[in-house]
Amino acid sequence: MDDDEVDILAVKRSFSKSKIDNPIHVARDGLEALAMLRGEDGHRPLPTPYVIVLDMHMPRMDGLECLEQLRGDPVHRRAVVFALTSSTDARHCGAAYDYNVAGCLIKSRTSEDFQRFAEMLQIYRRTIELPSERTMT
């Protein structure tokens, strides 16, 4: 979930290079992301399991507000979320960790970090049992 087209393309490119062929769904803000996850406003609910890559700075509903909603939602509270932030202020990642994100990536670093992130995700999804519909409720 990200509102910056350059960041979206960087993540998609990194995922492609790492041979991550899972579908990628893009939401432009937290409200759209929640609607997609919940199957509201004309969206079909996304099938589980999934990993959410969440930008902390989005319009209408930012990442922290979205995380608060996710963690309060009985269906999506266990979703695996990685936070993306353009801020180097440690408090922004700290606030995301307060909502139990799996990790926090600083976007202002080089595109090599996106590539390393994609490679790590590839290993993560092969190694870790992600929450499924059975464990999400």
Tens-digit pLDDT string for the chain (137 aa): 445 677 778 777 887 887 777 788 888 889 999 999 999 988 888 877 788 989 888 888 989 999 999 999 988 888 999 998 887 777 778 999 999 999 998 876 556 777 888 888 888 878 888 776 555 55
Domain locations in the chain?
5-136
Q: Which CATH architecture has domain 5-136?
A: 3-Layer(aba) Sandwich (3.40)
Contacts of 54 (CB under 8 A, 6+ apart): 1, 2, 33, 63, 66, 67, 81, 82, 83, 84, 101
CA atoms within 13 A of residue 58's CA, in its CB half-sphere: 29
Task: Tokens for 130, please give them.
Answer: 């992600």
What pTM value is reported for the model? Answer: 0.82
* Residue 109 DSSP one-character state: S
Dist. CA 74–CA 69, nearest whole Å: 10
Retrieve residue 80's tokens: 């695996």
Q: What is the pLDDT of residue 17?
A: 80
- The predicted pLDDT at position 2 comes to 46
pLDDT of residue 111: 66
